[in-house]
């Protein structure tokens, strides 16, 4: 019975850390991509497109920062 509980906790650790790693990486990649596309749109004279890409970058960065803070807070609480 003890082995089943430990395996359950190990599985939870594996999937949550994988999901967090992929999610944080994807969010930061979205920030970089959106900022690059905002710059291209601005140089092409598309102000609305540049603003939309910059807004997406800002939202993705806020989610990225929240994820990092949540991760650090979780580590410090343990």
Q: Convert the pLDDT of each residue in 38-50 to its tens digit.
A: 999 999 999 999 9
Radius of gyration of the chain, Cα coordinates, nearest whole angstrom: 18
Q: Measure the CA–CA gap between 27 and 20, rounded to whole angstroms.
A: 10
For 50-66, the pLDDT digits (tens) are 999 999 999 999 999 99
Gap between the Cα atoms of 66 and 53, Å rounded: 20
Q: Residue 19: which of 71, 60, 56 has the closest Cα?
A: 71
Query: Is the pLDDT at 13 greater than 90, yes or no?
Result: no
Query: How confident is the model over 20-34, as a mean pLDDT?
Result: 96
């Amino acid at each position: 019975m003890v082995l089943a509980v430990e395996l359950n906790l190990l599985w939870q650790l594996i999937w949550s850390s994988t999901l967090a790693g992929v999610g944080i990486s994807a969010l930061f990649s979205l920030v970089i991509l959106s900022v690059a596309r905002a710059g291209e749109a601005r140089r092409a004279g598309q102000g609305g497109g540049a603003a939309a890409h910059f807004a997406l970058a800002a939202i993705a960065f806020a989610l990225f920062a929240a994820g990092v803070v949540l991760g650090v807070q979780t580590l410090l609480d343990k």
